[in-house]
Structure 1
Amino acid sequence: MKKAILSAACLGTTMAFGQVKDTLQTQNVDEVVMTASRKKENIKEVPSSITIVGEKQIQSQLTVNSDITSILQYTVPSLGTNSGQTSNTGQTLRGRQVLVLIDGIPQSTPLRNGARDLRSIDPSAIERVEVIKGASAIYGNGADGGIINYITKRNKTDQKISGISQVGFTGQSYGGTLGVRASQLLSGKVNRFDYTLSLAYERTGYMKDADGIYLSPTYSTAKMDNYNGLLKLGYTINDNQRIEASYIGYSSRSDLNLGLSTGKYGIKPTIGDGVGRGLETTPQGTPKNHNIRVSYDNKNLFAGTSLNINLYYQDFKTVYGYSDTFFNGGQSNVLSKKTGARFNFDTQLWNTANSQGEIIYGADILNDQTVQKLEDGRFWTPNMSMTNIAPFVLAKVDLLKKLTLKAGLRYENIKVNVDDFNTLSVIKSDGTFTKSIPVEGGKLTYNALVGNIGVRYNIEPYINLFASFSQAYSINELGRILRTSTSETIKSLETKPIIVNNYELGATGQLSNWLNYELTSYVSTSKLGASFVQSPDRALMIQRSPEIVYGVEGFLHFTPAKWIQFGGSYSWMEGITSLKDDGDYSAKINNSRISAPKVLAYIQARPIPTLSLGVDMLHSFTQNRFNPNVKTGLYSYGEGYVPEYTVFNFKASFEVNNNWRLSLGIENVLNKKYQPAIAWWTARDSEFINAPGRRGTFMVEYKF
């Protein structure tokens, strides 16, 4: 079975879907990518799948919806559709978890995945998003499906001060409160100093479906205050040396006070009933996400060798809504603090007219302290402290300006200290209690050598080929295992790590001056994967079993004239597992990880130089991979039937003059009534919710 799948995966590409869509607005393509090799390089030298979402496209999508999870679902083909809520549960990349970074600082909490890592920064502070698709170990633990790195804005001018001011309003056509949004960007350079300051505030209004009914208050983004601040200071010591320091702060809190009217799965949606519950003592959301980074660059440390050092600190907290499943009820949170350092050396081995070779090497050091508690102080997981020391080496050779070879190794050395704790008493679905038991902590040690190898051959403009093999190493979600423990010691729990092997083959090119294409296929395997499944009492548990995930994705981009462009992408994946570990991959990985096939399409025109008009379409196909229980007629978690849906968004901008711009965006312009995919595949009454109806945003921008 495995061989058959590998031989079938014989088509491919390096994806840059978002990057290509930017061309009409920028008239050139930013070909520099940093995340793939932890250094600046041309995208044509990277033998792996990449999507770059550029600044112009982020701004265009921001006019429609400021939620970064929505922006990504319209710009990254193989990323799952969003939930429309604060949680990014189910928004996997190629059927596996993704590692989220901000300027290389990890935002994900793999020890206890809170599914809030994608919504950790306001898009107004982002210059571009670099998405490395497929397993990767280059930034450490958690990148089973790839990496999403938010690259923040920087100064690009020699002026002492320049900036962009924006004010916007959002609302739906059903009455109720308006949302308001304001952001300010200032940047400049004074002698050898440069700076960037970005501030953003948004107050969202109520969220309603296509019939004007309040959406479910669970994990709601309605009535939410979002704050974001970025301060970046740089000093260029000389032509070779530079030091930079930055702070990024993000906060989102909802004071929505709606009651919950639970619906019926597949029949009646769960809604907000307009009557406040008053049970939540803490506003749900992410009240704090502080990121501090200091970097030093030396382009000529010694002969042919450059150095980059990054020191960082992150302090993160997210809070969930009230739940009566806890004894006496309560709200849970996830708290995480990370301290880390990255050391990169880059030595040029040779550099001639026709070839060059270099070696990148160094080490990463990370301490991650994570815990999940209730707001009243009760521990749901113990305190977990992970220390990761990982040396690495990457060799790169370019021949004849056409052929690029890459190979690398990384040695993961991870130690986790787990405190003693008592599990929480939780109410089961049948009304009985799980008793609290004491669990003895201890130390866990993980070691592994992971690697990657890839080749890219830029034959002619109309066809470039690449093939690659890469691995990722992840600690399974330890916190979730521990909080549901029935054992009195962690030594008897299944805590083995996840090692993913990813294989890709691809083709990309430009067939003419007006047609670009890309196509990629992939297979990822793991001897011991991890998926959420439903236990007999309908609680969630982690299933460990061998896995294979495989799929294809690609896009076409047409520019028949300078004033118009259009195109689209398609992504499809499947996941299978061997529950008995006997090589019989007859079971399927559920829909919580394997997204339905997705088509993205767009058309963008500039009928006159000052006016831009565009329409985006997202079509999610039917997903019917499982059958309900014969006796109960109910689907298990993650196995629900998902019907297809199609959504259209409209966006327009008008440049009044060189300084002023007016923008209008309309999400779900046809006011389509539908449910997001997560509402169906969870197969739960409380999570069967409608998506937002038509919602408009008007923005005024002043640039100086």
Structure 2
Amino acid sequence: MKKVLLSAACLGTTTAFAQIKDTLQTKNVEEIVMTASRKKENIKEVPSSITVVGEKQIQSQLTVNSDITSILQYTVPSLGTNSGQTSNTGQTLRGRQVLVLIDGIPQSTPLRNGARDLRVIDPSAIERVEVIKGASSIYGNGADGGIINYITKRNKTNQKISGISQIGFTGQQSGGTLGVRASQLLSGKINKFDYTLSLAYERTGYMKDANKVYLTPTYSTAKMDNYNGMLKLGYDINENQRVEASYIGYSSRSNLNLGLKTGIYGVTPTIGEGEGKSLETTPQGTPKNHNIRVSYDNKNLFAGTSLNVNLYYQDFKTVYGYSDTFFNGGQSNVLSKKAGARFNFDTQLWNSQNSQGEIMYGTDILNDQTVQKLEDGRFWTPNMSMTNIAPFVLAKIDLFKKLTIKGGLRYENIKVNVDDFNTLSVIKNDGTFTKSIFVDGGKLNYNALVGNIGIRYNIEPYINLFGSFSQAYSINELGRILRTSTSETIKNLETKPIIVNNYELGATGQISNWLNYELTSYVSTSKLGATFVQSADRALVIKRAPEIVYGVEGFLHFTPVKWLQFGGSYSWMEGITSPDDNGNYSAKINNSRISAPKVLAYLQVKPIPELFIGVDMLHSFRQNRFEPNTKNGLYAYGEGYVPDYTVFNLKVSCEVYKNWKVSLGIENFFNRLYQPSIAWWAARDSDFVNSLGKRGTLVLEYKF
């Protein structure tokens, strides 16, 4: 009788907000992952720290905010907090740049890091997100801090057709903020064929802070049309062979037409005001991100050996807001095309009752063509064409079903062709010009042997120990270095790659059935890093110097009873650098890479099967690592004092009928007026912006 009354109360809570039923969300990672070694394996065999954001977590967070950068900041320790804008500048992983993938297809543009690689897919198409924390070379260029791999949805049934339909609305307590989103998932299997079709559309409204003031139009997600489509087709040739082809297309464009009112750093925020005052002629956003992939799997190519072949192509363009930092001003873009192939062989060396051994080997081939131009056709960077051929080998030994040893080598052979170009005339802060110069292009060659080794000892369920050493190799921000050339030839520029050495120790386990935990410590070093710093005229340049980044992170997850779960995570890091090659690490890496300590906490209650209630909290600690200039009292870029802030989100879901759900999410539940971390550490008037105020999302779902 009590259950019936509770269900009735759930269905009739208010006329404005209904609630949906959902399974009680869990922070436990899934058992099987594939990003760590490019094949399916049990997570208990991986000797490093991994975060897996499951499908239910994604859907739960999607109820609050559809921005994938927001979803990740609430679910991944050691990932920096987001900016609330289209740019993911500052959202580093363990203090270094991250390589973003979709089903293994690289999305990042390390040749010219435009910080738009996280928002390249709609969350409705994602089955889970696998995050490898710490330097990794397993997918090639750009993974200094780790890998974020979006694994897209696939067919899971034998039905001819099944699916999920969703329609949702977002809004704030002020006019003009109403937004709408809709998504449709269809999947099924017909004989040996299977398919998955995902479509999503979102139209956002105006974005306002807690005082109902328009947020800055720069890199804004307001008044934006977001489209996402995915088609995945598979065919099982026989029990050992399968082919699969997929296309994923994403587009986001903002027609926000607000003027910009620049504030004063630390005093008044930069805001948007007045219709029809924008200087932009091209909508901001990512107008195209096309991904095509074809794969072939053979589980028994010959005795004890399997084969996986992946062919892929990506075509990407993102557009930035108006800037007057160069002569005549304008909007810039980053254009990138990638074509690649991965050939993986996996040979079982032995498989006895108490031990097994295998070796994986193959070759990766990648061509990456990247350029940054202005919308009027002027080149900001030259055309850069990188060809990377990398053979690799990885060995794995499992002993006594408790001890796993893994090690591998990868040989990076990279060639970059750089076109001749003219640098842009740049306006300095004092009003003077840096004149355009002609720069001879040429060929750059890079070669290196990088490796990894790790060990994991699963002593008992309550204590599992792991330790690893891994390396990453990347040519990061070559375009940024080239576009600020003062030399007439690229051979005189400092373009050496970044090689990161990552050391990690950790422990994880499960105590009884009510507590899961993990604690990890790490150190990463590089003889030549890359950090944005401010020159004497307050222009941004890249500092190349030795670096050390170190930190700790951990999480606790409690399940005292079936209907209640709670827990959280904590992450802290520090980074130091040497002003020169003398080995004296007397300076700190600035806050653009070293995020403030972060606490994530959650409470999830499911008192009856029809009702789910969840609360998420994010607390970013105060960060005071630098002093302002004694002469003018100004902080340098990346060194600003960052105050702490705390944000709460609420999620409620309830089952209406058998296949119908209604959900309500409220972001920034207490309508806290605060600024994102980047607003403070950037220490610039134009970047001093407020965060989004209280916003609600209402979603209706039908599952069949």
Decide whether the 8 Å contact of 2:27 with 2:557 is kept in 1: no
SS in 1 for 2:596: coil
1:486-525 → structure 2 map (5 Å cutoff): 486-525=486-525
> Who is 2:11 aligned against?
none
TM-fit CA distance, 1:404: 0.2
1:283-432 → structure 2 map (5 Å cutoff): 283-432=283-432
- Measured in 2, the distance between the counterparts of 1:578 and 1:322 equals 36
- Measured in 2, the distance between the counterparts of 1:325 and 1:601 equals 41
- Measured in 2, the distance between the counterparts of 1:401 and 1:52 equals 23
Residues 62/631 of structure 1: CA separation in 2 closer, same or farther (3 Å cut)? same
- Measured in 2, the distance between the counterparts of 1:26 and 1:233 equals 30
1:188-227 → structure 2 map (5 Å cutoff): 188-227=188-227
TM-fit CA distance, 1:578: 0.8
> Who is 2:13 aligned against?
none
SS in 2 for 1:416: strand
Residue 446 (structure 1) aligned with residue 446 (structure 2): yes
- Measured in 2, the distance between the counterparts of 1:81 and 1:345 equals 38
> Who is 2:105 aligned against?
105
Decide whether the 8 Å contact of 2:26 with 2:57 is kept in 1: no
- Measured in 1, the distance between the counterparts of 2:468 and 2:325 equals 46
Letter in 1 for 2:598: K
> Who is 2:170 aligned against?
170
- Measured in 2, the distance between the counterparts of 1:421 and 1:527 equals 30
SS in 2 for 1:353: coil
> Who is 1:611 aligned against?
611
TM-fit CA distance, 1:239: 0.2
SS in 1 for 2:544: strand
- Measured in 1, the distance between the counterparts of 2:658 and 2:344 equals 41
Aligned length: 683
- Measured in 2, the distance between the counterparts of 1:326 and 1:537 equals 15
> Who is 1:67 aligned against?
67
SS in 2 for 1:306: strand
- Measured in 2, the distance between the counterparts of 1:680 and 1:476 equals 25
Q: Which runs of 5+ in 1 are unaligned?
A: 1-21
Decide whether the 8 Å contact of 1:214 with 1:274 is kept in 2: no
| TM-score calculated relative to the size of structure 1 | 0.96
578-587 or 668-677: which moved more? 578-587
Q: Which runs of 5+ in 2 are unaligned?
A: 1-21
- Measured in 2, the distance between the counterparts of 1:347 and 1:624 equals 52
- Measured in 2, the distance between the counterparts of 1:361 and 1:311 equals 17
- Measured in 1, the distance between the counterparts of 2:543 and 2:615 equals 41
TM-fit CA distance, 1:228: 0.2
Letter in 2 for 1:37: S
TM-fit CA distance, 1:270: 0.3
- Measured in 2, the distance between the counterparts of 1:50 and 1:159 equals 33
Residue 233 (structure 1) aligned with residue 266 (structure 2): no
Letter in 2 for 1:671: N
TM-fit CA distance, 1:28: 8.4
Letter in 2 for 1:297: D
TM-fit CA distance, 1:658: 2.5
TM-fit CA distance, 1:276: 2.3
Decide whether the 8 Å contact of 1:241 with 1:296 is kept in 2: yes
- Measured in 2, the distance between the counterparts of 1:199 and 1:400 equals 46
Decide whether the 8 Å contact of 2:423 with 2:439 is kept in 1: yes
- Measured in 2, the distance between the counterparts of 1:29 and 1:442 equals 47
> Who is 1:12 aligned against?
none
SS in 1 for 2:82: coil
> Who is 2:690 aligned against?
690
Deviations 1:337-386 (A, max 9, x none): 00000000000000011110000000000000000000000000000000
321-330 or 37-46: which moved more? 321-330
- Measured in 1, the distance between the counterparts of 2:181 and 2:323 equals 31
> Who is 1:262 aligned against?
262
TM-fit CA distance, 1:26: 7.0
TM-fit CA distance, 1:273: 1.2
1:106-121 → structure 2 map (5 Å cutoff): 106-121=106-121
Decide whether the 8 Å contact of 2:614 with 2:651 is kept in 1: yes
TM-fit CA distance, 1:174: 1.6
Decide whether the 8 Å contact of 2:500 with 2:525 is kept in 1: yes
> Who is 1:6 aligned against?
none
Deviations 1:16-66 (A, max 9, x none): xxxxxx983479863000000000000000001100000000000000000
Decide whether the 8 Å contact of 2:261 with 2:271 is kept in 1: yes
1:38-57 → structure 2 map (5 Å cutoff): 38-57=38-57
Letter in 1 for 2:556: L
- Measured in 2, the distance between the counterparts of 1:483 and 1:544 equals 16
Residue 635 (structure 1) aligned with residue 625 (structure 2): no
214-223 or 655-664: which moved more? 655-664
> Who is 2:244 aligned against?
244
> Who is 2:142 aligned against?
142
SS in 2 for 1:680: helix
TM-fit CA distance, 1:545: 0.6
SS in 1 for 2:70: helix
- Measured in 1, the distance between the counterparts of 2:27 and 2:408 equals 35
- Measured in 1, the distance between the counterparts of 2:224 and 2:128 equals 25
RMSD over aligned CA atoms reads 1.0
- Measured in 2, the distance between the counterparts of 1:50 and 1:652 equals 28
Residue 625 (structure 1) aligned with residue 619 (structure 2): no
- Measured in 2, the distance between the counterparts of 1:203 and 1:323 equals 26
> Who is 1:597 aligned against?
597
Letter in 2 for 1:673: L
1:415-564 → structure 2 map (5 Å cutoff): 415-564=415-564
Letter in 1 for 2:242: R
Deviations 1:447-476 (A, max 9, x none): 000000000000001100000000000113
Deviations 1:102-130 (A, max 9, x none): 00000000000000000000000000000
SS in 1 for 2:606: strand
Residue 568 (structure 1) aligned with residue 571 (structure 2): no
- Measured in 1, the distance between the counterparts of 2:334 and 2:658 equals 46
Deviations 1:523-582 (A, max 9, x none): 000011110000011110000110000000001110000001000100000000111221
- Measured in 2, the distance between the counterparts of 1:354 and 1:428 equals 68
SS in 2 for 1:528: coil
- Measured in 2, the distance between the counterparts of 1:337 and 1:258 equals 32
Letter in 2 for 1:569: S
> Who is 1:654 aligned against?
654
Decide whether the 8 Å contact of 2:144 with 2:473 is kept in 1: yes
Letter in 2 for 1:110: P
SS in 2 for 1:480: helix
Decide whether the 8 Å contact of 1:258 with 1:274 is kept in 2: yes
TM-fit CA distance, 1:656: 1.5
> Who is 1:154 aligned against?
154
| TM-score calculated relative to the size of structure 2 | 0.96
Deviations 1:302-357 (A, max 9, x none): 00000000000000000001112221111000000000000000000000111100
Q: What fraction of aligned residue pairs are identical, expressed as a percent?
A: 87
- Measured in 2, the distance between the counterparts of 1:29 and 1:328 equals 52
Residues 280/643 of structure 1: CA separation in 2 closer, same or farther (3 Å cut)? same
TM-fit CA distance, 1:636: 0.1
Residue 666 (structure 1) aligned with residue 666 (structure 2): yes
- Measured in 2, the distance between the counterparts of 1:75 and 1:568 equals 9
SS in 2 for 1:274: strand
Letter in 1 for 2:663: S
